Amino acid sequence: MQTDSGGVLDTLLALFAAGGPVVAILAGLSVVALAVTLAKAYQLWRARPDPDGAVETAINDHRRGATAHAINRLATARGGLVPIVQLALAGLRTGGSDRATLREEVERRASQFVEELRSHLRVLEIIAAVSPLLGLLGTVLGMIEAFQQMEAAGNRVDPAVLSGGIWEALLTTAVGLAVAIPTLMAFTWLERQVERVTHHAEDAITRVFTAEANAHAAAEPRPAVQAAE
**Range ranked top by mean pLDDT from 31-35, 71-75, 94-98, 154-158:** 31-35
Q: Is residue 110 part of a domain?
A: yes
pLDDT in tens, 102-151: 899 999 999 999 999 999 999 999 999 999 999 998 888 878 777 777 66
Q: Into how many domains does the chain fold?
A: 1
Q: Which residues of 6-17 are buried (b: 16+ CB within 10 A; e: fewer)?
A: eeeeeeeeeeee
More confident residue, 42 or 210: 42
pLDDT at site 132? 94
Q: Is residue 10 part of a domain?
A: no
| 229 pLDDT tier (thresholds 50, 70, 90) | very low
Going from the C-alpha of 19 to that of each of 129, 181, 188, 218, the distances in angstroms are 20, 19, 29, 73
| 20 pLDDT tier (thresholds 50, 70, 90) | confident
pLDDT at site 178? 93
Q: Is residue 187 part of a domain?
A: yes
The model carries a pTM of 0.78
Q: Is residue 8 part of a domain?
A: no
Q: Is residue 52 part of a domain?
A: yes
Report whether pLDDT(224) > 70.
no
Domain extent at residue 64: 20-213
